[in-house]
């Protein structure tokens, strides 16, 4: 990547920080946490936050694929299908988010509210990611990621590739009709599920309603695909796993060590657009929390901090192995409808439900 080490343009700096600020503001104002969304389905039979997640996802699915087919971004990044890594990594991540008390989005925005446990979780998440990608767990990472499978002769197959390609012309562009039939069917099912939650009813008096939060996350997800491509050097959208690692390494040793994305010189630092974006998230959350008078330093018991630390290390290791976290795979990756991302997301949910059962449901039943 040395040939791309140019001075970071001001617009790249501003766009990265601004996307992070807006994302953090939305997350805090809407209490948008995917761990909560998955947990509440099985624990309290509440689908409210899960509907917000589905709304955000389907908005990004439609918007991101329109950007791709209309040529506004070169290509959505669909990860290669590594079933063993996607399944095990997703499942471990799902287990970890329950112990850590929040997913990637949850712990990042809660740092801006003054929760010490969230800061510990961010540290643990970074530690787990770097252990898997650069440290003692890297041989395991290489071994498990080596098991790859092609579908329809595509290593990074999307869901519609299972059904074949029906090429058609639309507005002068070659598009795959099968792709949009699949997206249309998923949108219809999602719309029925979302409407059952009465998204147009009056929302919270403080903060965003679940439907507004989901819609805004979805719209920002679309914008992030384009902004990261246009000003950040490559379409990567919203994620936390690699960006958090890149931000941490930038701070620690001055080199983000990005493998697949361009790095820029920012003074003495070699960093990325995504590293700036992830730094902006807690700042945006802090602004929202201060406005709502919800910022307060909170120090939990030491025993809780140890549980959070252990869970967050699991989160980081699992996310790195799976190819992303609840945002990187569960929203951005899943918006491409890549089989790899959908598989990882399903097992994140299953891991979450497993830990919720053993940590909350079973003890209450006993």
pLDDT at 4: 55
The domain segmentation of the chain, as residue ranges, is: 2-365
Q: What is the rounded CA–CA span in Å between residue 57 and residue 257?
A: 29
- Segments of the chain scoring below 50 in pLDDT: 1-3
pLDDT at 135: 95
Angle at 14 between CA 11 and CA 20, to 5 degrees: 135
pLDDT at 27: 97
Question: b or e along 204-225 (b: 16 or more beta carbons within 10 Å of the residue's beta carbon)?
Answer: eeebbbbbbbbbbbbbbbbbbb
Q: Residue 248 CA to chain centroid, in angstroms?
A: 17
Can you say whether residue 48 is alpha, beta or left, with left for phi > 0 and alpha for psi between -120 and 50 degrees? alpha
pLDDT at 340: 98
pLDDT digits (tens, 9 = 90+) for 267-311: 999 999 999 999 999 999 999 999 999 999 999 999 999 999 999
pLDDT at 2: 44
Q: Where are the beta strands (DSSP E) in the chain?
A: 6-7, 167-170, 173-176, 264-266, 269-271
138 touches 132 (CB < 8 A): yes
Question: What's this model's pTM, rounded to 2 decimal places?
Answer: 0.94
pLDDT at 1: 40
pLDDT at 303: 94
């Amino acid at each position: 990547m040395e040939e791309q080490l140019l001075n970071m343009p001001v617009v790249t700096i501003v766009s990265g920080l601004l996307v992070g600020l807006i994302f953090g503001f939305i997350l805090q104002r809407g209490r948008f946490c995917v761990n909560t969304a998955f947990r509440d389905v099985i624990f309290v039979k509440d689908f409210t936050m899960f509907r917000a997640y589905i709304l955000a996802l389907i908005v990004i699915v439609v918007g991101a694929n329109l950007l791709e087919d209309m040529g506004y971004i070169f290509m959505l990044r669909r990860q290669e299908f590594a079933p063993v890594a996607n399944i095990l990594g997703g499942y471990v991540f799902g287990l970890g988010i329950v112990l850590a008390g929040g997913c990637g989005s949850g712990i990042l925005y809660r740092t801006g509210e003054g929760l010490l446990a969230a800061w510990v979780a961010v540290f643990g998440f970074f530690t787990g990611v770097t252990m898997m990608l650069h440290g003692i767990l890297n041989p395991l990472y290489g071994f498990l990621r080596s098991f790859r499978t092609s579908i329809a002769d595509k290593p990074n197959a999307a869901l519609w590739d299972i059904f074949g390609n029906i090429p058609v012309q639309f507005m002068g562009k070659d598009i795959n009709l099968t792709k949009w039939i699949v997206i249309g069917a998923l949108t219809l099912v999602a719309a029925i599920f979302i409407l059952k939650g009465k998204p147009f009813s009056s929302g919270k008096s403080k903060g965003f309603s679940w439907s507004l939060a989901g819609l805004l996350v979805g719209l920002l997800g679309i914008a992030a695909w384009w902004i990261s491509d246009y000003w950040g050097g490559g379409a990567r959208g919203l994620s936390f796993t690699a960006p958090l690692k890149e931000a941490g390494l930038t701070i620690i040793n001055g080199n983000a060590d990005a493998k697949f994305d361009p790095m820029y010189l920012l003074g003495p630092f070699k960093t990325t657009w995504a590293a700036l974006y992830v730094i902006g998230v807690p700042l945006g959350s802090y602004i929202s929390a201060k406005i709502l008078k919800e910022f307060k330093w909170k120090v939990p018991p030491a025993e809780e901090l140890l549980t959070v630390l252990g869970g967050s290390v699991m989160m980081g290791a699992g996310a790195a192995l799976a190819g992303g976290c609840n945002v990187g795979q569960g929203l951005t990756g899943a918006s491409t409808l890549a089989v790899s991302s959908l598989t990882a997301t399903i097992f994140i949910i299953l891991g979450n439900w497993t830990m919720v059962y053993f940590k909350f449901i079973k003890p209450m039943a006993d």
